[in-house]
Structure 1
């Protein structure tokens, strides 16, 4: 266990060292590392930006959009996934619509969001919602359908009704699959919210990163990329931690 906590920061440090060497020496090994800022330059720019009010405003804007869109997607995606998997009528009614809409990239809906919603903020939240909705829906649906039928038969044999089947068997049994979809969904949400901010936002990490690119501020661009990576990692880790806490009653293999 101790070796893992040494290996992980060591691998990150090795990557940063390689980046510094390649960029500081202006290496050209097919890729043009001489065009990229060094680790030192990025660290210096990050130290400057992290104390600016605009940086914290951008963080708050992006996190607020993720929080609103992802929360809606988690609620609706989980509920609809269970409903479609449990009801043949709903599956026949909604299944074709969902399957046609699912392959459409959420970022491709930006023009539709601009036309539909009165403000850019609402449109960006909508894009974030769509990005997370389908991974959560599909993961939940598959988790419900994968439940052993003997579990439901057992509780019905003991006199359980439909509500008890849902609350005692279906929902607890699908938790690992649901949290798998939530983990994927939050990552996809970050990809799409950043892209939406670049296209139509006025604040946010994605907007600030694009602004840095337009003025040829490459250290600022990398600072934005690093910030996005850290935010995505922290939110995904929070979802996975919540999932482990919610499924502590399962065997370790099932939680994984």
Structure 2
């Protein structure tokens, strides 16, 4: 008596169904949609003060008003679409915040990458620099806010400095770990083939460390995005962080939540973009899985 095996094409179709990205996205939307519906139900029944937690529809109206540009007229009917106070601040705030993130991250990662490569490849450089790095690394960028204002004043320079500081250490530590944890088999094989020090570093150590470096870049840009929100609450007069702080002063809780949702959406977009970039750059590393 023999057992009949499941057809291979059926197994493949079942596997492809569960690995379908559209299915994963649909499943991932269940919890957020359920949370929004529960939130709306609680607000509609008046169980919470609208000043403390406005309804999702009110937040949506404020978000659209925050997004759309200012129009030169308003309808006279209260509660209508055109009676919303349109400001058009969101595109400007998003642009200024992202510019600060890009500039600060470029400075922080641009300094961390060569230092991390040097510390990972040279025991002498590591011995000299590691104690200093380990002393500074636990200090959060927020603790530097008073010094940043004293050194750079107000405006973009202190914000960029804090962002660069937040991105510096994740990139640095992951780069060091990537260089120092290259598989010894690769190194011995390269030596046996007669590779010199420069060839060893450029053709063996650096490619093997790329996954670690990209992981550090992903963490660093996420940290930079967090730091920009904090720095904009202190040192500048525009951006998403500044707008949330301004809304708090006037008890605009709907605008606060609209700004927070915008930050979450931008953070998700940045993480997805970095994930796609990692998959593209590391397609050789995942060749056996494809």
TM-score, length-normalised on structure 1? 0.92
Aligned partners of 1:205 and 1:224 also within 8 Å: yes
Aligned partners of 1:179 and 1:240 also within 8 Å: no
Q: Mean Cα displacement is larger for which, 57-66 or 246-255?
A: 246-255
From the superposition, tell whether residues 117 and 177 of structure 1 become closer, same or farther in structure 2 (CA, over 3 Å).
Answer: same
- Measure how far apart 1:33 and its partner are: 8.3
1:37 is the counterpart of 2:57:
no
1:25-79 per-residue CA deviation (whole Å, 9 max, x = no partner) reads: 2336xxx888201110000101111013432221111000000011222222222
Q: Distance in 2 between matches of 1:33 and 1:215?
A: 14
Q: Unpaired segments of 5 or more residues in structure 2?
A: 1-19, 70-87
2:205 to 155, 159, 170: 170
SS at match of 2:251: coil
Match of 1:80 in 2: 115
1:131 is the counterpart of 2:205:
no
1:147 is the counterpart of 2:189:
no
1:195-221 per-residue CA deviation (whole Å, 9 max, x = no partner) reads: 110011111110011101101111010
Decide which structure has greater helix share.
1
Aligned partners of 2:51 and 2:253 also within 8 Å: no
Q: Unpaired segments of 5 or more residues in structure 1?
A: none
1:21 to 41, 46, 51: 41
Q: Mean Cα displacement is larger for which, 69-78 or 80-89?
A: 69-78
TM-score, length-normalised on structure 2? 0.82
SS at match of 1:199: coil
From the superposition, tell whether residues 91 and 14 of structure 1 become closer, same or farther in structure 2 (CA, over 3 Å).
Answer: same
Aligned partners of 1:209 and 1:220 also within 8 Å: yes
Q: Distance in 2 between matches of 1:233 and 1:74?
A: 21
> What aligned pairs does 1:201-216 form with structure 2 within 5 A after superposition?
201-216=236-251
Match of 2:230 in 1: 195
From the superposition, tell whether residues 235 and 65 of structure 1 become closer, same or farther in structure 2 (CA, over 3 Å).
Answer: same
1:1-22 per-residue CA deviation (whole Å, 9 max, x = no partner) reads: 2431321122221121122222
1:211-237 per-residue CA deviation (whole Å, 9 max, x = no partner) reads: 011011110101110111111111122
Q: Which structure has the larger Rg over C-alpha atoms?
A: 2
Match of 1:3 in 2: 23
Aligned partners of 1:23 and 1:34 also within 8 Å: no
Q: Distance in 2 between matches of 1:122 and 1:34?
A: 35
Match of 2:84 in 1: none
Runs of 4+, deviation exceeding 3 Å: 252-255
Match of 2:78 in 1: none
Match of 1:90 in 2: 125
- Measure how far apart 1:88 and its partner are: 1.2
From the superposition, tell whether residues 253 and 96 of structure 1 become closer, same or farther in structure 2 (CA, over 3 Å).
Answer: farther
**Cα RMSD after superposing both structures:** 2.0
Aligned partners of 1:26 and 1:34 also within 8 Å: no
Aligned partners of 1:135 and 1:184 also within 8 Å: yes
- Measure how far apart 1:138 and its partner are: 0.9
